[in-house]
Amino acid sequence: MVGMSGAYGGHSNGGESRAPKAAVVVGAPPPEMEMEMAGAMGVVHKVAAQPAQSTASKMKGKVKETFFPDDPFRSFKGQPLRAQWVMAARYLFPVLEWLPGYSLSLFKSDLVAGLTIASLAIPQGISYAKLANLPPIIGLYSSFVPPLVYAVLGSSRDLAVGPVSIASLIMGSMLRQAVSPSAEPMLFLQLAFTSTFFAGLVQASLGILRLGFIIDFLSKATLVGFMAGAAIIVSLQQLKALLGIVHFTTQMGIVPVMASVFQHTNESIRWPRFFWISACAPLASVIVSTLLVFLFKAQNHGISIIGSLKCGLNRPSWDKLLFDPTYLGLTMKTGLVTGIISLTEGVAVGRTFASLKDYQVDGNKEMMAIGLMNIVGSCTSCYVTTGAFSRSAVNHNAGCKTAMSNVVMALTVMVTLLFLMPLFVYTPNVVLGAIIIAAVIGLIDLPAAYNIWKMDKMDFLVCLCAFAGVIFISVQEGLAIAVGISIFRVLMQITRPRMMIQGNIKGTDIYRNLHQYKEAQRVPGFLILTVEAPINFANTNYLNERTKRWIEDESSSGNKQTELRVVILDLSAVPAIDTSGIAFLIDLKKSTEKHGLELVLVNPTGEVMEKIQRANDAHDHFRPDCLYLTTGEAIASLSGFAKMATP
């Protein structure tokens, strides 16, 4: 019954024979197995332990990976002190990296790009400020100071900084719950500045404390659903106002203007060739509609207009920051939500364009830059700003080279603030609504949603929940629900990890999941299980029950020849284990022994091996002869052993 199956031999130990210790006599599997272990080796390798490391140095390593995964100071090593100072200054002020080498040709590109985004920023700034229920001029102020701050501190070359629709919407709707912007405009403005201050504080703190990974919890799916929901809310709000007025003014030609704005802004992201049209459309709409209102005196026929705006630059507003306990909770909450949302947008936009142009954007540095920009902004009559996707796309397409394009934009806005404000007197509010709708409609990314549906149904559920939550409950709760589901899903993956039975792929030494690989075959007498998750408190009960049921099924079904003798637990895909997990392994070892079975562990990774060893210090549960480096070696070694034991 026991024969050598021929396709087996010491072939693999060719040239060098400095094989590791513990060579075990390997017998062949019984012939009825009809299986050759192609690469099977005559040697059994030891599972190495992690090199000894003190708790402190391990902690240091973990802290480093958690907070400094990008190792920002690695180029500092071995440099003279003076060079380190220069590098530190460059690290803190990225402007020092590009300004010394700045040339006229670069400036030409930046000038064109800066003027282009200014033509977009001015009408959008006015519109978004209205979306946040703030005076239109605040939107222009916010397009002047923050871009200058960002140009000094920011590391992205493509980000166009200014107010954005989503953060404006959130700030407006959250503050409106407590204070009416029409009844108490001054208080509302104060709350907006204070919220902006807190938003900046949150953003800068996340960057300084290097907690940038927190925004990673807003997944793509969450954002797609959230943006679409927010866009629909904004559009409906604006449309209500629009339709009310269109009713009076069908002859005003607003519909075609709106339609053209729609068309083009929407195209801007997809067909960069036409981006000039889309970039100029909002300004053109404003100019045309303002002229029309002025010529027809439409303000007397029911068209509401912006009205007179004072010339002049941002006034200081630090005296307007309101830390009154009555509103402190509200402003902190608003700051937190708008801060995180706008940070997510800014960092994502920065990363997108950095990856297009193949340079690196440091997430934590960006957070500090955006945060400082908002803190400075809150003291200079600005509300929350960040890098806007649509404007950055235009900036990129217009050929910007450095953050200088933001400076050009800011200077253009400055000129507008100083001299051109009277021109906006007759601008109809309705065209601002159209600009907003045109901008936010582009946020509804149906292809992305379809793609998510195709790839991953659970992700789509997250997307849908964010969408429905924002529309039917509220902006912040919709977001919280979506993040909650995302995290719950991650936890469920750990609570119910995949466990698989593996089989041998014929003619090889490879063991793979039986379900996925139809050509994989069970090895008689062995039950090869893999776990694909960290083993911890959240899943030990499940793993325990699941494993025991499998062993039970196996033990009861087999006949004498294929009787189960060995359970192999492949730990290759177990990155970590905790005390509960070790207790599970020990419990499994004992219970398999009770059933007369042998349990061996295959390929425990560093951390797991370390804990197994520590468990051994006390009770020697897992001796070296039940630890193997590969499933193949375990089977080869244990087949021989089993034969010797049963002559």
- What is the identity of the amino acid at 570? D
Please choose, from the candidates 295, 261, 217, 154, the residue with its C-alpha nearest in 3D space to the C-alpha of residue 487: 217
Nearer to a copy of itself, 82 or 457 (CB): 457
Q: Which residues contact 146 (CB under 8 A, 6 or more apart)?
A: 161, 162, 373, 374, 376, 377, 382, 385
Q: How far is the CB of 55 from a copy of itself (least distance, A)?
A: 6
Distance, in Å, from the CA atom of 194 to the CA atom of 92, rounded to the nearest integer, reads: 26
The continuous run of DSSP H or E covering 494 comes out as helix 475-495
Q: Which is nearer to a copy of itself, 252 or 368 (CB)?
A: 368
The nearest distance, CB 441 to a copy of itself, in angstroms, is 23
Q: How far is the CB of 14 from a copy of itself (least distance, A)?
A: 3
The answer to whether 516 and 505 are in contact (CB under 8 A) is: no
Gap between the Cα atoms of 449 and 224, Å rounded: 7
Closest distance between a copy of itself and the C-beta of residue 156, in Å? 15
Q: Are 365 and 155 in contact (CB under 8 A)?
A: yes
239 exposure class (CB count in 10 Å sphere: 0-12, 13-18, 19+): middle
Nearest to 100 by CA among 358, 396, 402: 402
| Least distance (Å) between residue 352 CB and a copy of itself | 10
For residues 8 and 276, which CB has a smaller minimum distance to a copy of itself in the complex?
A: 8
Q: Where are the beta strands (DSSP E) in 155-238?
A: 161-162
The nearest distance, CB 451 to a copy of itself, in angstroms, is 7
Q: Which is nearer to a copy of itself, 299 or 580 (CB)?
A: 580
Query: How far apart are alpha carbons 20 and 609 in whole angstroms?
Result: 19
Q: Please state the closest distance from residue 561 (CB atom) to a copy of itself, in A.
A: 21
Residue 15 or 80 having the CB closest to a copy of itself = 15
Dig out the tokens for 322 from the structure: 């309101």
CB of 222 to a copy of itself, least distance (A): 8
* Residue of 443, 460, 390, 457 whose CA lies nearest to 219: 460
User: Of 72 and 399, which CB lies nearer to a copy of itself in the complex structure?
Assistant: 72
The answer to whether 380 and 320 are in contact (CB under 8 A) is no
Interacting residues of 450 by C-beta distance below 8 A, sequence separation 6+: none
CB of 386 to a copy of itself, least distance (A): 17
Here the tokens at position 39 are 């690469």
* Rounded least distance, CB 73 to a copy of itself, Å: 13
Question: What DSSP character marks residue 419?
Answer: I
Cα gap 199→176, rounded to integer Å: 17
Looking at beta carbons only, is 425 or 586 nearer to a copy of itself? 586
Give burial (CB, 10 Å; 0-12/13-18/19+) of 562: middle
Q: How far is the CB of 534 from a copy of itself (least distance, A)?
A: 6
CB-based contacts of 617-621 (< 8 A; 24+ apart in sequence): 619/586, 621/585, 621/586, 621/589
- In angstroms, give the least distance from the CB of 214 to a copy of itself: 9
Q: What DSSP letter does each residue of 108-134 carry, written as one string? A: HHHHHHHHHHHHHHHHHHHHHHHHTTS
Residue whose CB is less far from a copy of itself, 541 or 561: 541
Only one residue has tokens 């507003």, namely: 317
Token pair recorded at residue 153: 């501190």
